[in-house]
Amino acid sequence: MLIKRPQIGAISENEVTPESIYLSRRSVLKALGIVAASGVALNARGGVFDDLLGGDKPASEAPRSPLPYTKDNQTHGLILTPENKVTSHNNYYEFGTDKTDPAANSQHLKTQPWTLTVEGEVEQPGTIDLWEMIHTSALEERIYRMRCVEAWSMVIPWLGVELGSILKKFKPTSRAKYVAFETLYDPEQMPGQKSRRIGGGIQYPYVEGLRIDEAMHPLTLLSVGLYGKTLPPQNGAPVRLVVPWKYGFKGIKSIVKIRLMETQPPTTWNLLAPNEYGFYANVNPNVDHPRWSQASERFIGPGGPFSSTRQKTLMFNGYEEAVASLYAGMDLRKFY
Ligand code: MTE
């Protein structure tokens, strides 16, 4: 068993995730020949030793600017995950598969200028100058639960705008039934896109999708910041999706393209392991992952760097009242 010496403020994956899950998600990668047979994941620079040390701390962190925003005055009784944990325990396979790789390897990502294309089933296709959008929009803070499919969770104060308000400006046609999202494809900047081993065997660019009613739902956020400032690169700077009632992998990072479509778009984790990760990916404690239970989760909250508490997972991640009607009559075991 690999013993890691974690950094201060970072949480090693096996601290917050039962070993069975920690190892079994890697076994998908192993089956694909991505992870060394010993079970030791090589990090973004291929260094077993770096992995043993729990990854590198970024030599210099990308600067983040404070943003004006309307505060979320309802704390909803939620306890926030400290900022240093939100920004040091990440999944962003373009920068490596270890939880500390994204913070270590993404700080150079060039996020200015940034253009977001909106195309497909819209009357007025076009582009968004992302930084102009950030500076001219009324940004809102949204304190949301975030539940990873790996059975850990956080509570994060995001900043952003409702995705629906953006999409409406491009006038979706009546044929727009789905919305597809695409991450930047730039192997020079994203080492995981250059190498199957570093990037977890994913076929890049990372892609995601929502049904149009999910995309238009007022809880669905196009996020440009967290904890009062612009997003750090490891969390998906400069713009990512946040859909709080779905597993975290739906929250695609560093988006460059949005395409409205008549048919259901392919999604990255579903392409990789369709029997394990569905298109819908709604948080559901009653439908287990084929290899582990989804009934409970380890909440990464305040406390020592490695502390976490086990809690019950809530239906639709606690947003049942707001979103259950979207799935009325659907068999959620089939549409997982
Ligand atoms: N987006 C891209 N482009 N690449 C990724 O590897 N990982 C997803 C999602 N978005 C991922 C991504 C997964 S599995 C999770 S759980 C969340 O990002 C993690 O978001 P966080 O690092 O901000 O907690």
d(CA 164, CA 189): 30
| pTM strictly above 0.85 | yes
Q: 51 pLDDT band (50/70/90 cuts)?
A: very low
Q: Which amino acid, one-letter code, is at 134? A: I
Helix (H) or strand (E) holding 141: strand 140-147
Task: Please name the residue whose Cα sits nearest to atom 4 of ligand 1.
Answer: 92
Q: 123 alpha carbon to ligand 1 midpoint, in Å?
A: 31
CB distance 208 to ligand 1 below 6 Å: no
Task: Give the residue ranges of DSSP H helices in 147-205.
Answer: 163-169, 191-194
Contact between residue 281 and residue 143 where contact means Cβ atoms under 8 Å apart: no
Task: Please name the residue whose Cα sits nearest to atom 22 of ligand 1.
Answer: 90
pLDDT at 75: 78
Domain 13-327 has CATH 3.40.190.10: no
CA-to-CA dists, residue 94 to 44, 97, 128, 233, 294, angstroms: 9, 8, 24, 11, 26
d(CA 289, CA 298): 16
d(CA 178, CA 215): 8
pLDDT at 26: 52
Q: Which amino acid, one-letter code, is at 173? A: T
> For residue range 125-170, what is the model confidence (pLDDT) as tens digits?
999 999 999 999 999 999 999 999 999 999 999 999 999 999 999 9
User: What CA dihedral angle connects 112, 105, 163 and 81, to 10 degrees?
Assistant: -130
CB distance 251 to ligand 1 below 6 Å: yes
d(CA 292, CA 97): 20
d(CA 183, CA 239): 10
Helix (H) or strand (E) holding 157: strand 152-162
> For residue range 278-307, what is the model confidence (pLDDT) as tens digits?
999 999 999 999 999 999 999 999 988 778
Q: 325 alpha carbon to ligand 1 midpoint, in Å?
A: 27
Q: 148 alpha carbon to ligand 1 midpoint, in Å?
A: 9
CB distance 316 to ligand 1 below 6 Å: no
Contact between residue 115 and residue 126 where contact means Cβ atoms under 8 Å apart: no
Q: 316 pLDDT band (50/70/90 cuts)?
A: very high
- For residue 57, give the nearest of 8, 17, 18 by alpha carbon: 8
Length of the chain: 336
Mean residue pLDDT across the chain: 87
